[in-house]
């Protein structure tokens, strides 16, 4: 039996020297917020994962599907790589394009998740990523992250990093923090 998909994907990223971190619902769970999801989300800012040959070793495995998509010039992401195999959660490798996203990945700390030590973004960086995405689910996720005991620390960290985000994300923060005070 082969290793779980998350192990195969992260091993390939590690071998290539690509920094990444768990984001999305998986990271929310690490920070105490539980919600259902059908995939695992990882973040990197290494555009090398979008190259055609980056996934040859994994795509050679029977049943593994790799779908790479580059973002165009006005896309908020550099791209995304979706990796799937039957009977396992898909993995979405989100490819960011901004320095603040690189810093979030660099600040990530390893946590045992799904039987694997994965770097996980901190709660403040998770809020920043959710503000940047700006959807309704993202707003709910932020509200849930801010209901815990570490709220004041998260708010302070978010506010110290907020100037790196676009104005729309900063405006959403003002609305969000105003609604939770």
* pLDDT tens-digit map of 86-131: 888 899 999 999 999 999 999 999 999 878 899 999 999 999 999 9
Helix, strand, or coil (residue 5): helix
Asked if residue 126 lies in contact with residue 27, where contact means CB atoms within 8 angstroms, the answer is yes
For 56-89, write each residue's pLDDT tens digit.
988 888 789 999 999 998 899 999 999 999 888 8
- 1-121, what's its fold? Beta Polymerase; domain 2 (3.30.460)
CA of 138: how far to CAs of 1, 63, 86, 103, in Å? 36, 32, 28, 20
Q: Where are the domains of the chain?
A: 1-121, 122-181
Strands 39-44, 90-95: pairing is parallel
Helix, strand, or coil (residue 38): coil
- Dist CA 149 CA 71 (whole Å): 38
Asked if residue 47 lies in contact with residue 79, where contact means CB atoms within 8 angstroms, the answer is yes
Helix (H) or strand (E) holding 22: strand 21-23
pTM of the model: 0.93
Among candidate residues 73, 22, 16, the one with its CA nearest the CA of residue 46: 16
């Amino acid at each position: 039996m082969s290793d779980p998909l998350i192990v195969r994907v992260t091993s390939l990223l590690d071998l290539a020297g690509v920094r990444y971190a768990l984001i999305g619902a998986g990271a929310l769970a690490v920070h105490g917020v539980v919600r259902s999801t059908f995939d695992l989300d990882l973040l990197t800012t290494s555009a090398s994962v979008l190259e055609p040959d980056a996934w040859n070793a994994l795509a050679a495995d029977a049943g593994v599907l790799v779908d790479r998509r580059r973002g165009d010039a006005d896309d908020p992401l550099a791209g995304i790589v979706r990796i799937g195999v039957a009977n396992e959660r898909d993995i979405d490798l989100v490819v960011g394009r901004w320095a603040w996203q690189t810093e979030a990945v660099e600040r990530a700390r390893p946590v045992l998740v799904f039987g694997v030590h994965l770097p996980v973004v901190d709660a403040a960086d998770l809020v920043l990523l959710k503000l940047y995405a700006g959807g309704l689910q993202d707003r709910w996720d932020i509200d849930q992250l801010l209901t815990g005991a570490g709220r004041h620390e998260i708010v302070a960290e978010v506010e110290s990093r907020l100037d790196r985000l676009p104005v729309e994300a900063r405006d959403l923060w003002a609305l969000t923090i105003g609604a939770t005070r």
